[in-house]
Structure 1
Amino acid sequence: MLKQHCVTEPVKCLTAQKLNIQIGALTLARDISFQLKPGQVTAILGPNGTGKSTLLKTLFGELKLDSGSIHHGQDSLDIKRLLHWRQRFGYMPQDIHLDVNLTVIEVVLLGRLDALSLRVEDHMLHAALEILQSMGLAHLANRDVRTLSGGQCQMILFAQALMREPQILMLDEPVSALDLHHQHVLLEHLVTQTREQQYITLMVLHDLNLAAQYADNLLVLKEGELVACGHPKSILTSELVQDIYNVEATVISDENGIPFVRTLRSKKVA
């Protein structure tokens, strides 16, 4: 039987309003505002050190806001209720090392740590195996995670994030260790799950062409400021790429209107 959705239920957007983050004299984010909708994938772009990971950590509650607010529907980020706030997230940070004596299936199950007991319920085990199967990773289920490659670990951590059944899915450079084929496998799965489960999905990417192909919206950061936001077709231009990354670039569109960025060379620094 198909699940019936309540049409009167309000859409729970993730809204950031005038975010300012500062550590000492260093400003990490300045006056950033945006709204993310369920069922859409948003990619954060920008050069190194411009605040992309900082933004994810702030949304998750790891970094303290100096001013501004973050809301998910009618709920707001409150440091006093941080555990409650984080329960809605499936968060895959950057550079996590799986140096633990666990199998792949055990690592995936940790995505539901809040609901686990001494005995793993059959339905949770089936759910974890189903996620691995859908990603072509079922053959790794009983492998020690310490024997996996960096790319395999990245795929397993993505599976763990999905296991949480999140409302908000946040991924920091989720394809950095993956080969070309598995980059597309992960991102295709990400888009499919975002649409089907109505996740609010936010990810950091460095590959502009992957972002243009898989993201519904882009947030472009430069020196802690949000300098552009919108659909890739409308904002990803050669002028933007040159300004943000200081490289010469051309942007053309494929037969579907998706922009493709070809970088030529670094612009000389004066």
Structure 2
Amino acid sequence: MNKKQLERMRTGKGFIAALDQSGGSTPKALKGYGIEESEYHSEEEMYDLVQAMRSRIIQSQSFTSEHILAAILFEKTMDRKIEGLYTGDYLWDKKGIVPILKVDKGLAEQKDGVQLMKPMPDLDRLLERAKDRNIFGTKMRSVIHEANAASIKKIVEQQIQVGTQIAAAGLVPILEPEVDIHSSSKKEAEIMLIAEIEKQLSQLDNSVKIMLKVSIPTVSGVYSTLMNDAHIVRIVALSGGYSRQEANTLLAKNPNLIASFSRALLSDLSAKQTPAEFDKLLATAINEIYKASV
């Protein structure tokens, strides 16, 4: 574990840029960027285009450590290079931004109001590769749709189990038990989730360090107590389908909760924009999200 990166994640001002769209979400991400599916004819071409998009974002003069603490990468992005450096090394060595890797393999089918993560049989090998690429931490997502205490317990158990495996490998895991913002029982689910996280964290050795990525809560400040837990490096929030304006307004009501936005960060960008237009719109988004985070 890189101690300088750990301290930056624990105390730094800024937010996390989520650049980890993968698999089935990649065509949607490219379409949002102005590239239609008819413009590429293979998976490799698709990933070349998304790498070009991410490289353009990361290389932008607006994308700096002044506002951005870390960036979450997709596995194929980790394995590709920017200006001759692996993406994680470029982020840290050239930009001072901490590299994080998405490790989950997607969501299982919804059952009893939740979606657990699919199995990750090759996780140990992926973690070794991540360490070789100088990655600091990981991120993995599951989803809660209903306030079902037994199911939420399963979500947290799975996240903690995999998270401790990742921590044992020397990386800092971001656990992401997202609560669907459209859930009719979102408030109740969040209360259950926090109680279950507190219970399960109390059973871990204090040497285990994790981060949490959560939906912006219905009750502002409800995660504040959890932030003081000895295991918690930082708690960050996803935009979850809110527009950037909505997400920023809600986030700003939560002290010390910082953004880890994807769509809300990238929604105004297009492959067709000039470099000046691109940098200006990215700078606007970054500045707005930063202000809401700090």
Scaled by the length of structure 1, what TM-score is found? Answer: 0.35
Larger RCO, structures 1/2 (Cα 8 Å, 6+ apart): 1
**Structure with max Cα Rg:** 1
Which of the pair is proportionally richer in strand?
A: 1
